[in-house]
Chain A
Amino acid sequence: NLMPFPMFEPLSFHNMFQPFFDMIHRAQQAMDVHLHSMPYHFPTAEFPGENANRTVCKEIRHNSTGCLRMKDQCDKCREILSVDCSTNNPAQMQLRQELNTSLQLAEKFSKLYDQLLQSYQQKMLNTSSLLAQLNEQFSWVSRLANLTQGEGQQYFQVTTVSSHNSDPSVPSGLTKVVVNLFDSQPITVTVPEEVSNPKFMETVVEKALQKYRQKHRE
């Protein structure tokens, strides 16, 4: 018995499952809303060139700074970079050296951070897809919550069983069964087993549940 104290009534299906369903749905929504709408493009290992080009195009369109990345292709621009002002101020050269070193380091760490951020995003997406799976796994059960509140309901009722002998429209060797399952319209399943087969009802239920789940997924 789930309940630790006899003074409490056993749980109803509704009490137990409906909140779970709502919560899983909310959790998944909270994860998905932003994860799929992030404007930031992580640099990808597969197409580094393409990604870099996309960034440069974006920078050119935005404020033209992307063009400065092409300075190596012009002699005079390269010359600017190698201008030596140390005769005027030796400290300036030292400072420039320090700047270049820290800039390279910062670029390296920025790239590393990008990679880690991408892995982190992947972990978040994995969690989100597990929540989606949880939702998928759970929703058909939790859907039953609303259906199990009345007294004395029949959740699974076999209404008709026919074979080729009683109904010529049923192919030979098969058995057609019509069942009512939960709140659905009558579900018709055709199984290869005969009524006398010990597996008969298991096969019927499996097929009926499959149809029920499929219908609710749709």
Chain B
Amino acid sequence: DKAISDKELQEMSTEGNKYINKEIKNALKEVKQIKTLIEETNEERKTLLGTLEEAKKKKEDALSETRDSEAKLKASEGLCNETMTALWEECKPCLKQTCMKFYARVCRSGSGLVGQQLEEFLNQSSPFYFWINGDRIDSLLENDRQQSHVMDVMQDSFARASSIMDELFQDRFFSRGPQDTFFYSPFGPSQRRSLFFNPKSRFAR
């Protein structure tokens, strides 16, 4: 096992550098492939956004009709008040008991405060609200509010990420084919900044 000379070590280093260059080029090719995947996902996202907008329109139309009918019905509130109030007084204790049982069994947290709050809520509620399914309307409106909020948050996040990605992918590095990365020697000697790739010009735009 003869000793390895300095010259041989240098030759090995040169050989090793070639492999490293190859690895870097492979990494760059893979980066471009991921970029393609990101673009495909984005296309799917855009299609989905269209479907979401249609669904939103239908939902809002139905909600608006619900609110209209609710308002018209409220105008005639009081027509069967006596019957409803009598039934309501009998409904309340059962509802309270059923609800407290459910809460203790399913929600698994202190029910003392909830009981008091429920008592107040039932006493303040009107049977008419109950009769027109006011709870379902409220729940729907609350859902609508939350859905809008979630959508806004997602759109906002995506808009920010997207503007950065657009800027990034507009770069000529990404607009060339993967095979074009082979021209590039990562360990080129130049230290001078290029006008084309100067990050400042991109940020300014």
A residues touching B (Cβ–Cβ < 8 Å)? 1-3, 8-16, 18-20, 22-24, 26-28, 30-31, 33-35, 38, 40, 53, 56-57, 59-61, 63-71, 73-77, 79-81, 83-85, 88-89, 91-92, 95-96, 98-100, 102-103, 105-110, 112-114, 116-117, 119-121, 123-124, 126-128, 130-131, 133-134, 137-138, 140-141, 144, 148-149, 151, 154-159, 161, 163, 165-166, 179, 181, 195, 201-202, 204-206, 208-209
Contacts of B189 in A (CB 8 A): 151
Known contacts A12-B191, A99-B70; decide if A127 and B42 are in contact (CB<8 Å): yes
A193 and B155 CA atoms in complex are apart in Å by 54
Known contacts A2-B184, A103-B140; decide if A117 and B52 are in contact (CB<8 Å): yes
A-B contact count (CB 8 A): 327
Can you sample 28 A-B contacts with CB below 8 Å? A1-B183, A11-B190, A19-B202, A23-B168, A40-B147, A57-B107, A60-B118, A67-B96, A67-B99, A68-B95, A68-B130, A69-B135, A70-B99, A73-B98, A81-B131, A88-B79, A91-B76, A99-B69, A103-B140, A108-B62, A110-B59, A127-B42, A130-B34, A133-B34, A134-B31, A134-B34, A141-B28, A148-B187
A137 contacts B31, C-beta separation under 8 Å:
yes
Shortest Cβ distance from residue A125 to the other chain B in the assembled complex, whole angstroms: 10
Taken residue by residue from 94 to 111, chain B's Cβ proximity to chain A (1 for < 8 Å, 0 otherwise) reads as: 111011001100110100
A80 and B91 CA atoms in complex are apart in Å by 8
A109 and B144 CA atoms in complex are apart in Å by 10
Contacts of A117 in B (CB 8 A): 52, 147, 150-151
A124 contacts B157, C-beta separation under 8 Å:
yes
Since A59-B139, A61-B109 are in contact, a sample of 16 more A-B pairs with Cβ atoms closer than 8 Å, ordered by chain A residue number, is: A3-B194, A8-B196, A9-B194, A19-B197, A27-B161, A56-B102, A64-B122, A67-B122, A80-B87, A92-B79, A107-B136, A123-B41, A123-B44, A130-B34, A133-B34, A148-B187
Contacts of B4 in A (CB 8 A): 161, 195
Shortest Cβ distance from residue B157 to the other chain A in the assembled complex, whole angstroms: 5
B158 contacts A124, C-beta separation under 8 Å:
yes
B51 contacts A106, C-beta separation under 8 Å:
no
Residue on A with the closest CB to B151? Answer: A117
B residues touching A (Cβ–Cβ < 8 Å)? 1, 3-4, 9, 12-13, 15-17, 19-20, 23-24, 27-28, 30-31, 34-35, 37-38, 41-42, 44-45, 48-49, 51-52, 55-56, 58-59, 62-63, 65-66, 69-70, 72-73, 76, 79-80, 83-84, 87-88, 90-91, 94-96, 98-99, 102-103, 106-107, 109, 114, 117-118, 120-122, 127, 130-133, 135-140, 143-144, 146-147, 149-151, 153-154, 156-158, 160-162, 164-165, 167-168, 171-173, 183-184, 186-199, 202
A12 and B191 CA atoms in complex are apart in Å by 5
B139 contacts A99, C-beta separation under 8 Å:
no
Which residue in A15, A34, A76, A128 is a CB contact (below 8 Å) of B153? A34
A61 contacts B158, C-beta separation under 8 Å:
no
Shortest Cβ distance from residue A15 to the other chain B in the assembled complex, whole angstroms: 5
Shortest Cβ distance from residue A114 to the other chain B in the assembled complex, whole angstroms: 7
Contacts of A56 in B (CB 8 A): 102, 106
A40 and B83 CA atoms in complex are apart in Å by 40
Shortest Cβ distance from residue A216 to the other chain B in the assembled complex, whole angstroms: 13
A38 and B23 CA atoms in complex are apart in Å by 39
Residue on A with the closest CB to B46? Answer: A123
A22 and B62 CA atoms in complex are apart in Å by 46
Contacts of B44 in A (CB 8 A): 123
B76 contacts A74, C-beta separation under 8 Å:
no
